[in-house]
Amino acid sequence: MSSLAFACALVCLAAAIALGTSTTARAAADEQVSSVCSADRLRGLYIWTFDGYTRLGGKLLPKAVMQGLQFNGDGTTYNTFGTVNIGGTIIIDATGGVGIYTVAADCTGTLSITNGPSFNMYIGPGAKQLWITQTNVGSGDGTGLGVGTATRLPQ
């Protein structure tokens, strides 16, 4: 009787290992496929916040930005709302602004706001969150530095 119980337990263990391996392998394959990025993965409304400094009149002033950034899945964006605060003064209502973006297969990309700043970004798993840093740094007015995140809202 005990050898029958042992054999039964061994068969159950082998079946569990086989099922677990196939599930693990399937999850790994799904993760590998989903890690390839493209512009069409960015689709929907993201709440984007970032802060940093902007150069105005030769001085670096602190800035804080919050906006609704609509990614259209085709390399274009639209600001559904937005406020830019520089040095404690709200200076820009960014509503209606447009931009363009690129996405590479490794989930890095660029974002350029028309007549505004440009950024590098990293697209997180499932394109649910973006990490963004400003790239047009320099000595002229409107240049600066900033870093922030954008989180996709549920549809």
Same domain, 30 and 45: no
* Residue 44: predicted pLDDT: 97
The more confident residue out of 91 and 30 is: 91
The residues near 134 (Cβ < 8 Å, ≥ 6 apart) are 50, 52, 117, 118, 119, 144, 145, 146, 147
CB 38 within 8 A of CB 20: no
pTM: 0.73
Query: What is the spatial distance between Cα 50 and Cα 64, in angstroms, rounded to a whole number?
Result: 6
* Residue 100: predicted pLDDT: 97
CB 37 within 8 A of CB 106: yes
Same domain, 49 and 122: yes
Same domain, 44 and 26: no
Same domain, 53 and 89: yes
The more confident residue out of 40 and 36 is: 40
CB-side exposure of 42: number of CA atoms within 13 Å? Answer: 34
Same domain, 73 and 126: yes
Query: Residue 147 pLDDT more than 90?
Result: yes
Range of the domain at 122: 39-152
Residue 105 phi, psi dihedral angles, 5° rounding? -60, -25
Query: Residue 25 pLDDT more than 60?
Result: no
Same domain, 17 and 44: no
Same domain, 52 and 75: yes
Same domain, 100 and 119: yes
Query: Residue 123 pLDDT more than 80?
Result: yes
Query: Residue 140 pLDDT more than 80?
Result: no
CB 46 within 8 A of CB 67: no
